[in-house]
């Protein structure tokens, strides 16, 4: 099993461009697995982890309800936002500046073949990262993602998740609000869940802006720990801070 994960930070990239790139990486892994199966080979498959920040965009998962988008086409343009129906699970969410999006494109045959365990592991990476900032985050039963003050009237989501897996190859991932403009969430019913708020790390810490590079470093550290992975390549300097 190859537990090496190739890191790439795409910077600020249009959602569709990043989605297309995910599909390319997904297909490259799929092709190797298919050839291995047909020709009885044991060629290792690659794993990838993409960091990216998107311009304002709303995405709707394959099981989502379009009525959870509260804007029409004209209003989307006025807010300089785009909209895509995509092939991940989950309902509607928002991506935009100040949000760290992580797309692990993994061959789970290299780790474990359990999609529920995979989601719980992704959540654990976020929970451990937020703990370093003094925030006690947790899961909310039946609601994928990471939350604060679960079980209280003040429950609020800080990280949304939605994934796709086929032949045990993953796509899409998590969106952690770090310095996000929370006003954009007012234009949707986030993840189709009514009556619960959304928050961002800078808001919780009472800071104007949180160092996003530092957050990425912490996310990578905990991803390595939780998945027992080795991060290779990429532009980020790994630290133990």
Q: How far is residue 118's CA from residue 152's CA, in Å, rounded to a whole number?
A: 27
Beta-bridge partners for 4: 230
The catalytic position among 25, 60, 165, 191 is 191
The answer to whether 159 is a known catalytic residue is no
Residues 6+ apart with CB under 8 A from 17: none
Q: How far is residue 129's CA from residue 131's CA, in Å, rounded to a whole number?
A: 5
Q: Please count the residues of the chain.
A: 241
Per DSSP, the three-state class of 130 is helix
Q: How far is residue 147's CA from residue 198's CA, in Å, rounded to a whole number?
A: 9
Kindly provide the b/e burial profile for residues 46-59, where b requires at least 16 CB atoms within 10 angstroms of the residue's own CB.
Answer: bbbbbbbbbebbbb
Residues 6+ apart with CB under 8 A from 210: 133, 178, 179, 201, 202
Residues 6+ apart with CB under 8 A from 63: 89, 90, 91
- Residue ranges of the annotated binding site for substrate are 88-95, 160-162, 173-175
Per DSSP, the three-state class of 176 is strand
- Residue ranges of the annotated binding site are 88-95, 160-162, 173-175
Q: Judge whether 51 and 9 are in contact, CB under 8 Å.
A: yes
Q: Which residues are catalytic?
A: 191
């Amino acid at each position: 099993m190859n537990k090496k994960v190739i890191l790439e930070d795409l910077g600020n990239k249009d959602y569709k461009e990043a989605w297309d790139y995910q599909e390319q990486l997904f297909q490259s892994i799929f092709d190797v697995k298919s050839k291995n199966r047909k020709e009885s080979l044991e060629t290792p498959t690659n794993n990838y982890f993409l960091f990216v920040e998107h311009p304002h965009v709303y995405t709707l998962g394959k099981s989502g309800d379009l009525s959870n988008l509260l804007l029409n086409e004209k209003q989307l343009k006025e807010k300089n936002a785009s909209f895509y129906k995509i092939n991940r699970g989950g309902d509607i969410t928002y991506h935009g500046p100040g949000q760290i999006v992580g797309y692990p494109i993994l061959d789970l045959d290299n780790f474990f073949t359990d999609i529920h365990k995979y989601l719980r592991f992704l959540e654990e990476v976020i929970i451990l990262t937020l703990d370093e900032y003094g925030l006690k985050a947790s899961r909310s039963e039946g609601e994928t993602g990471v939350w604060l003050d679960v079980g209280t009237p003040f429950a609020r989501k800080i990280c949304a998740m939605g994934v796709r897996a086929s032949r045990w190859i993953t796509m899409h991932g998590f969106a952690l609000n770090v310095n996000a403009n929370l006003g954009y969430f007012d234009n949707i019913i986030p993840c189709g869940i009514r009556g619960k708020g959304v928050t961002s790390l800078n808001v919780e810490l009472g800071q104007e802006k949180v160092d996003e590079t530092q957050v990425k470093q912490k996310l990578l550290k905990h991803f390595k720990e939780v998945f027992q992975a080795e991060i290779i390549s990429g532009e980020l300097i790994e630290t133990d801070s």
